[in-house]
Amino acid sequence: MKYHFFLLAYLLVKSTCVFAQVLPNSEKFEPERIAISRSRVFRVPDSMQRRAQQILGFAKFDPAAPAIVDELFGHQIFDTKSMLEAQAAAAEEYAVQREKEAAEPFFNDSREWMLAHARAHRAYADYTRKLSSDLKPYLVKSKVYFEGTGGYLVTLCGSLLKVSHGSLGHSTPPQKTVVILVFLERDIDSVEVSASIAE
């Protein structure tokens, strides 16, 4: 148990991209279960959150037409090619870090799964580089507790988009709805949202 505690602590310190890029099954790349990197997820500005929720109405998600994106983000330029390049780079960075760690004697007992992680993320990077930059923007209602101490984990499972927000806090405030904009490589027909908090 003590070994696993120190291993986890070590990885959290050294693997700076671990929260930026995590595959649903990090030991195997599965094209039907894709992690959407934070380079493709954007929070609608506070000043436009109410408007975004009005646009969505009772819907959990909806494709975002260019005019809607412009209205909500004030003509901000969204460079989808750069989004994908950032996702591929983060996956490669993760793979390199895992390979470096696997070469250290301290991790002899963990070398096999570390190298499996590296292979999975290199495959993920290759997958990302082959994607068309013609990504599809979706507005999605997410649920959050504390925004300032957390982040999103977004996963595309077939035509289902899973959006989870995790945060840290000393109490449990009421959940709130936050609309985000997510750029995806394929159409979705359903969204599953969740939020968690840990002290």
The rounded distance, in Å, linking the Cα atoms of 99 and 104 is 9
> How large a percentage of the chain has pLDDT more than 70?
87
Tens of pLDDT, residue by residue over 54-91, are 999 999 999 999 999 999 999 899 999 999 999 999 99
Predicted TM-score of the model (pTM):
0.84
Strands in 151-157's sheet, in edge-to-edge order, are 33-36, 151-157, 160-168, 190-198
b/e sequence 118-155, b meaning 16+ C-beta within 10 Å: bbbbbbbbebbeebeeebebbbbbbebbbeeebebbbb
The pLDDT value recorded for residue 8 is 36
pLDDT class of 129 with cuts at 50, 70, 90: very high
3 state DSSP class of 156: strand
